[in-house]
Structure 1
Amino acid sequence: MAMVLAAVTIQIVQAYRDDHLAKDLEDERSQLNRRIRDAVKPIPELIAQLPALSYPDRALRVQGIAQACATALYMLIAPHAENIRTAVFALEENPDRMTWLAHVGRGRTPCPFTPGTVRGDAAFEFITALQPAFYPDLTTQQPAGYDESPSDYRTFISIPLWTDESVYGMVTVDAPDPGALTVGDQYVAELIAELMAAAFEIANNGSLSTPLP
Protein backbone atom coordinates (compact mmCIF):
# COMPACT_ATOMS: atom_id res chain seq x y z
CA MET A 1 0.00 0.00 0.00
CA ALA A 2 2.81 2.39 0.93
CA MET A 3 4.48 1.74 -2.39
CA VAL A 4 1.25 2.47 -4.25
CA LEU A 5 0.78 5.72 -2.33
CA ALA A 6 4.38 6.69 -3.04
CA ALA A 7 3.94 6.01 -6.76
CA VAL A 8 0.71 8.03 -6.86
CA THR A 9 2.39 10.88 -4.96
CA ILE A 10 5.29 10.92 -7.43
CA GLN A 11 2.85 11.06 -10.34
CA ILE A 12 0.94 13.94 -8.73
CA VAL A 13 4.14 15.88 -8.06
CA GLN A 14 5.36 15.27 -11.62
CA ALA A 15 2.01 16.38 -13.05
CA TYR A 16 2.17 19.51 -10.88
CA ARG A 17 5.69 20.27 -12.10
CA ASP A 18 4.73 19.62 -15.74
CA ASP A 19 1.75 21.92 -15.38
CA HIS A 20 3.86 24.71 -13.91
CA LEU A 21 6.55 24.16 -16.55
CA ALA A 22 3.95 24.46 -19.30
CA LYS A 23 2.61 27.64 -17.72
CA ASP A 24 6.13 29.06 -17.42
CA LEU A 25 6.82 28.26 -21.09
CA GLU A 26 3.53 29.85 -22.10
CA ASP A 27 4.39 32.95 -20.07
CA GLU A 28 7.79 33.14 -21.78
CA ARG A 29 6.15 32.82 -25.20
CA SER A 30 3.65 35.53 -24.34
CA GLN A 31 6.40 37.85 -23.12
CA LEU A 32 8.47 37.22 -26.24
CA ASN A 33 5.49 37.83 -28.53
CA ARG A 34 4.70 41.03 -26.66
CA ARG A 35 8.30 42.24 -27.00
CA ILE A 36 8.23 41.55 -30.74
CA ARG A 37 4.92 43.38 -31.12
CA ASP A 38 6.04 46.39 -29.09
CA ALA A 39 9.40 46.65 -30.87
CA VAL A 40 8.17 46.19 -34.44
CA LYS A 41 4.75 47.88 -34.34
CA PRO A 42 5.93 51.46 -35.06
CA ILE A 43 7.81 50.44 -38.21
CA PRO A 44 4.93 49.45 -40.55
CA GLU A 45 2.96 52.43 -39.24
CA LEU A 46 5.74 54.76 -40.38
CA ILE A 47 6.16 52.92 -43.69
CA ALA A 48 2.45 53.25 -44.44
CA GLN A 49 2.74 57.05 -44.24
CA LEU A 50 5.47 57.27 -46.90
CA PRO A 51 3.36 57.40 -50.10
CA ALA A 52 1.51 60.52 -48.92
CA LEU A 53 4.75 62.47 -48.40
CA SER A 54 6.74 64.54 -50.87
CA TYR A 55 10.07 63.07 -51.94
CA PRO A 56 12.13 65.42 -49.70
CA ASP A 57 9.91 64.51 -46.75
CA ARG A 58 10.27 60.81 -47.56
CA ALA A 59 14.03 61.07 -47.13
CA LEU A 60 13.53 62.44 -43.62
CA ARG A 61 10.94 59.78 -42.85
CA VAL A 62 13.27 57.01 -44.04
CA GLN A 63 15.82 58.26 -41.54
CA GLY A 64 13.19 57.98 -38.82
CA ILE A 65 12.28 54.48 -39.98
CA ALA A 66 15.97 53.52 -39.89
CA GLN A 67 16.12 54.71 -36.28
CA ALA A 68 12.97 52.72 -35.46
CA CYS A 69 14.49 49.61 -37.09
CA ALA A 70 17.79 49.94 -35.22
CA THR A 71 15.89 50.48 -31.97
CA ALA A 72 13.60 47.49 -32.54
CA LEU A 73 16.56 45.23 -33.29
CA TYR A 74 18.28 46.44 -30.14
CA MET A 75 15.16 45.88 -28.00
CA LEU A 76 14.79 42.31 -29.23
CA ILE A 77 18.42 41.20 -28.86
CA ALA A 78 19.83 43.25 -25.96
CA PRO A 79 18.00 41.29 -23.21
CA HIS A 80 20.24 38.27 -23.84
CA ALA A 81 23.37 39.82 -25.41
CA GLU A 82 25.40 42.44 -23.53
CA ASN A 83 26.77 45.65 -25.04
CA ILE A 84 25.37 45.09 -28.52
CA ARG A 85 25.18 47.75 -31.20
CA THR A 86 22.64 47.77 -34.01
CA ALA A 87 22.87 49.87 -37.16
CA VAL A 88 21.22 50.60 -40.48
CA PHE A 89 23.59 51.48 -43.36
CA ALA A 90 22.56 53.10 -46.64
CA LEU A 91 24.31 53.58 -49.98
CA GLU A 92 25.33 57.13 -50.88
CA GLU A 93 26.58 58.84 -54.03
CA ASN A 94 29.19 61.57 -54.62
CA PRO A 95 31.27 60.03 -53.18
CA ASP A 96 30.12 56.43 -53.45
CA ARG A 97 30.14 54.83 -50.03
CA MET A 98 27.90 53.17 -47.46
CA THR A 99 27.29 55.08 -44.22
CA TRP A 100 25.04 54.62 -41.22
CA LEU A 101 21.58 56.16 -41.10
CA ALA A 102 20.95 55.09 -37.52
CA HIS A 103 22.64 53.17 -34.75
CA VAL A 104 21.70 52.18 -31.20
CA GLY A 105 23.67 50.69 -28.34
CA ARG A 106 27.38 50.59 -27.67
CA GLY A 107 28.88 54.05 -28.01
CA ARG A 108 31.38 53.76 -30.86
CA THR A 109 30.00 55.27 -34.07
CA PRO A 110 30.01 52.80 -36.98
CA CYS A 111 32.63 53.55 -39.64
CA PRO A 112 31.57 54.09 -43.28
CA PHE A 113 32.43 51.60 -46.02
CA THR A 114 34.35 53.14 -48.93
CA PRO A 115 35.07 51.41 -52.26
CA GLY A 116 38.75 51.07 -53.06
CA THR A 117 39.60 49.69 -49.62
CA VAL A 118 39.63 46.00 -48.70
CA ARG A 119 36.96 46.58 -46.07
CA GLY A 120 34.78 48.69 -48.37
CA ASP A 121 35.06 46.40 -51.37
CA ALA A 122 34.19 43.40 -49.18
CA ALA A 123 31.09 45.19 -47.85
CA PHE A 124 29.89 46.14 -51.33
CA GLU A 125 30.48 42.61 -52.58
CA PHE A 126 28.52 41.31 -49.59
CA ILE A 127 25.40 43.43 -50.12
CA THR A 128 25.25 42.61 -53.83
CA ALA A 129 25.48 38.88 -53.06
CA LEU A 130 22.08 39.24 -51.33
CA GLN A 131 22.92 36.72 -48.61
CA PRO A 132 23.06 37.20 -44.82
CA ALA A 133 26.39 36.93 -43.00
CA PHE A 134 26.88 35.71 -39.44
CA TYR A 135 30.28 35.49 -37.76
CA PRO A 136 29.77 33.97 -34.29
CA ASP A 137 33.44 34.34 -33.30
CA LEU A 138 35.71 36.77 -35.13
CA THR A 139 38.75 35.48 -33.25
CA THR A 140 38.52 32.28 -35.32
CA GLN A 141 37.00 33.47 -38.62
CA GLN A 142 36.97 36.97 -40.11
CA PRO A 143 35.65 38.62 -43.28
CA ALA A 144 37.99 40.49 -45.59
CA GLY A 145 38.96 43.90 -44.24
CA TYR A 146 37.87 43.25 -40.65
CA ASP A 147 41.32 44.17 -39.32
CA GLU A 148 41.61 47.21 -41.60
CA SER A 149 40.01 49.60 -39.08
CA PRO A 150 39.71 49.61 -35.27
CA SER A 151 36.95 47.20 -34.20
CA ASP A 152 35.50 46.75 -30.74
CA TYR A 153 33.32 43.76 -31.67
CA ARG A 154 34.07 40.04 -31.89
CA THR A 155 30.83 38.81 -33.41
CA PHE A 156 28.41 40.31 -35.90
CA ILE A 157 25.41 39.71 -38.13
CA SER A 158 24.81 41.61 -41.38
CA ILE A 159 21.73 41.46 -43.58
CA PRO A 160 21.62 43.16 -47.01
CA LEU A 161 18.76 45.57 -47.71
CA TRP A 162 17.38 44.74 -51.14
CA THR A 163 14.24 44.28 -53.19
CA ASP A 164 13.63 43.01 -56.72
CA GLU A 165 14.37 46.55 -57.90
CA SER A 166 17.44 47.73 -55.98
CA VAL A 167 20.05 47.20 -53.28
CA TYR A 168 19.94 49.87 -50.57
CA GLY A 169 22.45 48.98 -47.84
CA MET A 170 22.46 46.66 -44.86
CA VAL A 171 21.34 46.10 -41.27
CA THR A 172 23.95 44.99 -38.73
CA VAL A 173 24.20 43.92 -35.11
CA ASP A 174 27.51 43.33 -33.32
CA ALA A 175 28.79 42.58 -29.84
CA PRO A 176 32.19 42.58 -28.10
CA ASP A 177 31.95 39.01 -26.77
CA PRO A 178 32.36 36.03 -29.14
CA GLY A 179 29.31 33.79 -29.10
CA ALA A 180 27.00 36.50 -27.77
CA LEU A 181 24.80 36.40 -30.89
CA THR A 182 22.76 33.43 -32.13
CA VAL A 183 21.10 32.13 -35.27
CA GLY A 184 17.82 33.26 -33.72
CA ASP A 185 19.21 36.79 -33.65
CA GLN A 186 19.93 36.47 -37.37
CA TYR A 187 16.28 35.63 -38.00
CA VAL A 188 15.22 38.75 -36.09
CA ALA A 189 17.69 40.86 -38.07
CA GLU A 190 16.29 39.43 -41.31
CA LEU A 191 12.78 40.50 -40.30
CA ILE A 192 13.92 44.05 -39.53
CA ALA A 193 15.88 44.15 -42.80
CA GLU A 194 12.78 43.20 -44.79
CA LEU A 195 10.87 46.10 -43.25
CA MET A 196 13.71 48.54 -43.86
CA ALA A 197 14.08 47.44 -47.47
CA ALA A 198 10.35 47.97 -48.00
CA ALA A 199 10.70 51.50 -46.63
CA PHE A 200 13.51 52.30 -49.07
CA GLU A 201 11.58 50.84 -52.00
CA ILE A 202 8.40 52.78 -51.25
CA ALA A 203 10.29 56.01 -50.55
CA ASN A 204 12.07 55.75 -53.91
CA ASN A 205 9.25 54.48 -56.08
CA GLY A 206 6.13 56.01 -54.65
CA SER A 207 3.27 53.73 -54.02
CA LEU A 208 2.58 51.25 -51.26
CA SER A 209 0.04 49.31 -53.32
CA THR A 210 -2.12 49.47 -56.43
CA PRO A 211 -4.82 52.12 -55.90
CA LEU A 212 -8.34 50.79 -55.55
CA PRO A 213 -10.76 51.66 -58.38
Structure 2
Amino acid sequence: MTLGQDRADRGDWAYLLSGFAAIVVGGLVLWAKQRASEEVANLDMKVADRFRITIKDALQPVAELIADMPAQTRTVRRESIKTVSTQAVSALRLLLKDVSRLRATVYQINADGDMECVCYHGRGNSVQPQPFIRTTLRGERALEFVRRGGEPLFIRDIDKVNEGDVDYRGTRSGYKTFISASIHNDADGYGMVTIDAPRAGSLVDTDKQLVALVADLLAIAFAIAEH
Protein backbone atom coordinates (compact mmCIF):
# COMPACT_ATOMS: atom_id res chain seq x y z
CA MET A 1 0.00 0.00 0.00
CA THR A 2 1.12 3.58 -0.62
CA LEU A 3 0.24 7.00 0.74
CA GLY A 4 -0.28 9.85 -1.71
CA GLN A 5 -1.58 10.31 -5.21
CA ASP A 6 -1.19 7.72 -7.95
CA ARG A 7 1.43 8.59 -10.53
CA ALA A 8 -0.23 9.07 -13.93
CA ASP A 9 2.71 7.49 -15.74
CA ARG A 10 3.45 4.75 -13.22
CA GLY A 11 4.31 2.44 -16.09
CA ASP A 12 7.04 4.71 -17.37
CA TRP A 13 10.04 2.51 -16.68
CA ALA A 14 12.37 4.99 -18.32
CA TYR A 15 11.54 7.47 -15.56
CA LEU A 16 12.18 4.96 -12.80
CA LEU A 17 15.41 3.64 -14.24
CA SER A 18 16.78 7.08 -15.04
CA GLY A 19 16.00 8.11 -11.47
CA PHE A 20 17.71 4.96 -10.24
CA ALA A 21 20.84 5.75 -12.23
CA ALA A 22 20.94 9.34 -11.01
CA ILE A 23 20.62 8.31 -7.38
CA VAL A 24 23.16 5.49 -7.53
CA VAL A 25 25.81 7.42 -9.42
CA GLY A 26 25.22 10.93 -8.10
CA GLY A 27 24.10 10.05 -4.59
CA LEU A 28 26.87 7.62 -3.79
CA VAL A 29 29.59 9.93 -5.05
CA LEU A 30 28.17 13.03 -3.33
CA TRP A 31 27.62 11.37 0.03
CA ALA A 32 30.94 9.53 -0.13
CA LYS A 33 32.84 12.72 -0.79
CA GLN A 34 31.19 14.63 2.05
CA ARG A 35 31.45 11.80 4.55
CA ALA A 36 35.05 11.10 3.61
CA SER A 37 36.03 14.76 3.80
CA GLU A 38 34.62 15.01 7.33
CA GLU A 39 35.90 11.73 8.69
CA VAL A 40 39.34 11.66 7.10
CA ALA A 41 40.09 15.35 6.67
CA ASN A 42 43.49 14.96 8.30
CA LEU A 43 44.46 11.77 6.51
CA ASP A 44 45.98 11.19 3.09
CA MET A 45 43.95 10.83 -0.10
CA LYS A 46 44.49 7.07 -0.30
CA VAL A 47 42.56 6.64 2.95
CA ALA A 48 39.75 8.90 1.69
CA ASP A 49 39.56 6.93 -1.55
CA ARG A 50 39.31 3.65 0.35
CA PHE A 51 36.45 5.12 2.38
CA ARG A 52 34.53 6.06 -0.79
CA ILE A 53 35.09 2.59 -2.21
CA THR A 54 33.73 1.04 1.01
CA ILE A 55 30.48 2.99 0.62
CA LYS A 56 30.06 1.96 -2.99
CA ASP A 57 30.85 -1.68 -2.22
CA ALA A 58 28.30 -1.77 0.61
CA LEU A 59 25.44 -0.33 -1.45
CA GLN A 60 26.21 -1.92 -4.81
CA PRO A 61 24.41 -5.21 -3.92
CA VAL A 62 21.28 -3.18 -3.12
CA ALA A 63 21.48 -1.41 -6.48
CA GLU A 64 22.01 -4.69 -8.32
CA LEU A 65 18.97 -6.31 -6.69
CA ILE A 66 16.82 -3.33 -7.66
CA ALA A 67 18.14 -3.39 -11.22
CA ASP A 68 16.94 -7.00 -11.55
CA MET A 69 13.37 -6.21 -10.48
CA PRO A 70 11.83 -4.79 -13.71
CA ALA A 71 12.31 -8.13 -15.48
CA GLN A 72 10.51 -10.05 -12.72
CA THR A 73 6.80 -10.86 -12.51
CA ARG A 74 4.72 -8.66 -10.24
CA THR A 75 4.48 -11.42 -7.63
CA VAL A 76 8.24 -11.92 -7.59
CA ARG A 77 8.85 -8.16 -7.50
CA ARG A 78 6.76 -7.85 -4.36
CA GLU A 79 8.59 -10.76 -2.78
CA SER A 80 11.90 -9.11 -3.71
CA ILE A 81 11.13 -6.16 -1.43
CA LYS A 82 12.10 -8.27 1.59
CA THR A 83 15.40 -9.26 -0.05
CA VAL A 84 16.25 -5.71 -1.09
CA SER A 85 15.31 -4.33 2.34
CA THR A 86 17.39 -6.97 4.13
CA GLN A 87 20.40 -6.09 2.00
CA ALA A 88 19.81 -2.39 2.73
CA VAL A 89 19.79 -2.77 6.52
CA SER A 90 22.88 -4.97 6.32
CA ALA A 91 24.63 -2.25 4.31
CA LEU A 92 23.70 0.39 6.89
CA ARG A 93 25.10 -1.77 9.68
CA LEU A 94 28.31 -2.29 7.73
CA LEU A 95 28.80 1.38 6.93
CA LEU A 96 28.06 2.45 10.52
CA LYS A 97 29.87 -0.43 12.21
CA ASP A 98 31.64 1.95 14.60
CA VAL A 99 28.32 3.02 16.16
CA SER A 100 27.86 0.83 19.22
CA ARG A 101 24.80 -1.45 19.07
CA LEU A 102 23.30 0.27 16.05
CA ARG A 103 20.00 -1.09 14.74
CA ALA A 104 18.72 -0.49 11.18
CA THR A 105 15.07 -1.09 10.26
CA VAL A 106 12.88 -0.91 7.16
CA TYR A 107 9.13 -0.40 7.58
CA GLN A 108 6.40 -0.78 4.95
CA ILE A 109 2.80 0.44 4.90
CA ASN A 110 0.52 -2.59 4.74
CA ALA A 111 -2.93 -3.12 3.23
CA ASP A 112 -4.61 -1.99 6.47
CA GLY A 113 -2.82 1.36 6.38
CA ASP A 114 -0.55 0.56 9.32
CA MET A 115 3.25 0.49 9.01
CA GLU A 116 5.06 -2.69 9.99
CA CYS A 117 8.64 -3.90 10.11
CA VAL A 118 9.85 -5.60 6.93
CA CYS A 119 13.26 -6.44 8.36
CA TYR A 120 15.86 -5.16 10.80
CA HIS A 121 19.45 -5.83 11.74
CA GLY A 122 21.37 -5.06 14.91
CA ARG A 123 21.41 -5.38 18.70
CA GLY A 124 21.24 -9.15 18.50
CA ASN A 125 17.97 -9.14 16.53
CA SER A 126 16.29 -9.98 19.84
CA VAL A 127 13.35 -7.55 20.00
CA GLN A 128 11.47 -6.83 16.77
CA PRO A 129 10.61 -3.16 16.18
CA GLN A 130 6.97 -2.40 16.93
CA PRO A 131 4.50 -1.50 14.15
CA PHE A 132 3.01 1.97 13.73
CA ILE A 133 -0.77 1.69 14.09
CA ARG A 134 -2.66 4.42 12.24
CA THR A 135 -5.30 4.78 14.97
CA THR A 136 -2.68 5.77 17.59
CA LEU A 137 -0.96 9.13 17.97
CA ARG A 138 2.44 7.51 17.42
CA GLY A 139 1.22 5.81 14.25
CA GLU A 140 -0.58 8.89 12.97
CA ARG A 141 2.56 11.02 13.29
CA ALA A 142 4.81 8.43 11.67
CA LEU A 143 2.43 7.94 8.75
CA GLU A 144 2.17 11.69 8.24
CA PHE A 145 5.98 11.83 8.18
CA VAL A 146 5.99 9.19 5.42
CA ARG A 147 3.18 10.90 3.51
CA ARG A 148 4.94 14.26 3.56
CA GLY A 149 8.43 13.04 2.63
CA GLY A 150 11.19 15.63 2.76
CA GLU A 151 14.23 15.75 5.02
CA PRO A 152 15.10 12.86 7.35
CA LEU A 153 14.27 13.31 11.02
CA PHE A 154 17.32 13.25 13.30
CA ILE A 155 16.87 13.17 17.08
CA ARG A 156 20.22 13.31 18.85
CA ASP A 157 18.79 12.65 22.31
CA ILE A 158 15.15 11.68 22.76
CA ASP A 159 15.27 12.70 26.43
CA LYS A 160 15.96 16.31 25.46
CA VAL A 161 13.15 16.82 22.95
CA ASN A 162 9.71 18.15 23.78
CA GLU A 163 6.78 16.04 22.61
CA GLY A 164 5.33 18.82 20.45
CA ASP A 165 8.60 19.64 18.70
CA VAL A 166 8.84 16.56 16.44
CA ASP A 167 6.53 14.42 14.32
CA TYR A 168 7.03 11.34 16.45
CA ARG A 169 9.45 10.02 19.06
CA GLY A 170 9.13 6.27 18.75
CA THR A 171 8.78 3.84 21.63
CA ARG A 172 12.05 4.90 23.34
CA SER A 173 12.63 1.21 23.99
CA GLY A 174 16.36 0.46 23.99
CA TYR A 175 17.58 3.57 22.16
CA LYS A 176 18.36 7.23 22.86
CA THR A 177 19.03 8.57 19.36
CA PHE A 178 17.61 7.85 15.91
CA ILE A 179 17.43 8.97 12.29
CA SER A 180 14.37 8.22 10.14
CA ALA A 181 13.85 8.82 6.42
CA SER A 182 10.64 8.41 4.46
CA ILE A 183 10.61 5.91 1.59
CA HIS A 184 8.87 8.30 -0.74
CA ASN A 185 8.87 9.38 -4.37
CA ASP A 186 7.22 12.38 -6.02
CA ALA A 187 3.71 11.09 -5.36
CA ASP A 188 3.69 8.11 -3.00
CA GLY A 189 4.89 7.16 0.46
CA TYR A 190 5.75 3.49 0.93
CA GLY A 191 7.37 3.26 4.35
CA MET A 192 10.40 4.35 6.33
CA VAL A 193 14.06 3.57 7.02
CA THR A 194 15.42 4.14 10.52
CA ILE A 195 18.67 3.71 12.39
CA ASP A 196 18.89 3.99 16.16
CA ALA A 197 21.41 3.47 18.95
CA PRO A 198 21.37 3.25 22.77
CA ARG A 199 23.83 6.11 23.36
CA ALA A 200 22.75 9.70 22.71
CA GLY A 201 25.19 11.55 20.48
CA SER A 202 26.52 8.45 18.73
CA LEU A 203 24.93 9.46 15.40
CA VAL A 204 26.06 12.54 13.46
CA ASP A 205 24.55 14.89 10.87
CA THR A 206 26.21 13.26 7.88
CA ASP A 207 24.61 9.93 8.79
CA LYS A 208 21.31 11.51 7.71
CA GLN A 209 22.54 11.58 4.13
CA LEU A 210 23.33 7.88 4.17
CA VAL A 211 19.88 7.00 5.54
CA ALA A 212 18.26 9.31 2.96
CA LEU A 213 20.22 7.68 0.15
CA VAL A 214 19.12 4.20 1.22
CA ALA A 215 15.52 5.45 1.46
CA ASP A 216 15.75 6.82 -2.10
CA LEU A 217 17.04 3.48 -3.38
CA LEU A 218 14.24 1.64 -1.60
CA ALA A 219 11.64 4.07 -3.00
CA ILE A 220 12.62 2.91 -6.48
CA ALA A 221 12.32 -0.73 -5.43
CA PHE A 222 8.89 -0.17 -3.85
CA ALA A 223 7.66 1.74 -6.92
CA ILE A 224 8.77 -1.09 -9.21
CA ALA A 225 7.10 -3.66 -6.95
CA GLU A 226 3.81 -1.74 -7.07
CA HIS A 227 3.81 -1.49 -10.89
Superposed pair shares fold, TM > 0.5: yes
Report what 2:60 is aligned to. 41
What percentage of residue pairs aligned between the two structures are identical?
32
- Write the deviation string for residues 73-106 of structure 1: whole angstroms up to 9, x where unpaired: 1111122x1101001110001x321011111111
Pick which of 169-178 and 125-134 moved more: 125-134
Q: Is 1:165 equivalent to 2:182 in the alignment?
A: no
Query: How far does residue 144 in structure 1 lie from its aligned partner after superposition?
Result: 5.8
Report what 1:195 is aligned to. 217
Distance in 2 (alpha carbons) for counterparts of 1:76 and 1:111: 24
Which 4+ runs in 1 deviate beyond 2 A?
21-25, 142-147
Report 1 or 2 for greater relative contact order, CA contacts < 8 Å, sequence distance ≥ 6. Answer: 2
Distance in 2 (alpha carbons) for counterparts of 1:23 and 1:31: 14
Q: Is 1:91 equivalent to 2:113 in the alignment?
A: no
Pairs within 5 Å for 1:1-213: 24-79=43-98, 81-93=99-111, 95-106=112-123, 107=125, 108-131=127-150, 132-141=152-161, 143=166, 146=169, 149=171, 151-205=173-227
Q: In the alignment, is the contact (CA less than 8 A) between 1:85 and 1:103 conserved in 2? A: yes
Secondary structure at the aligned position of 2:44 is classed as: helix
Read off the aligned partner of 1:104 and give its amino acid letter.
Answer: H
Q: In the alignment, is the contact (CA less than 8 A) between 2:147 and 2:188 conserved in 1? A: no
Structure 1 residues 22, 59: CA separation in 2 closer, same or farther (over 3 Å shift)?
Answer: closer
Read off the aligned partner of 2:156 and give its amino acid letter.
Answer: P
Of the two, which has the highest radius of gyration? 1
Query: How far does residue 145 in structure 1 lie from its aligned partner after superposition?
Result: 5.6
Report what 1:14 is aligned to. none
Consecutive unaligned residues in structure 1, runs of 5 or more = 1-20, 206-213
Structure 1 residues 23, 200: CA separation in 2 closer, same or farther (over 3 Å shift)?
Answer: same
Structure 1 residues 52, 175: CA separation in 2 closer, same or farther (over 3 Å shift)?
Answer: same
Read off the aligned partner of 1:168 and give its amino acid letter.
Answer: Y
Q: In the alignment, is the contact (CA less than 8 A) between 1:118 and 1:144 conserved in 2? A: no
Q: What is the Cα-based RMSD across aligned positions, in Å?
A: 1.9
Secondary structure at the aligned position of 2:53 is classed as: helix
Report what 1:8 is aligned to. none
Query: How far does residue 25 in structure 1 lie from its aligned partner after superposition?
Result: 2.7
Read off the aligned partner of 2:58 and give its amino acid letter.
Answer: A
Structure 1 residues 27, 175: CA separation in 2 closer, same or farther (over 3 Å shift)?
Answer: same
Structure 1 residues 116, 56: CA separation in 2 closer, same or farther (over 3 Å shift)?
Answer: same
Distance in 1 (alpha carbons) for counterparts of 2:149 and 2:222: 16
Secondary structure at the aligned position of 2:119 is classed as: strand
Secondary structure at the aligned position of 2:180 is classed as: strand
Distance in 2 (alpha carbons) for counterparts of 1:89 and 1:144: 16
Consecutive unaligned residues in structure 2, runs of 5 or more = 1-39
Read off the aligned partner of 1:174 and give its amino acid letter.
Answer: D
Secondary structure at the aligned position of 2:47 is classed as: helix
Distance in 2 (alpha carbons) for counterparts of 1:135 and 1:22: 26
Report what 2:13 is aligned to. none
Number of residues paired by the alignment? 182
Secondary structure at the aligned position of 2:201 is classed as: coil
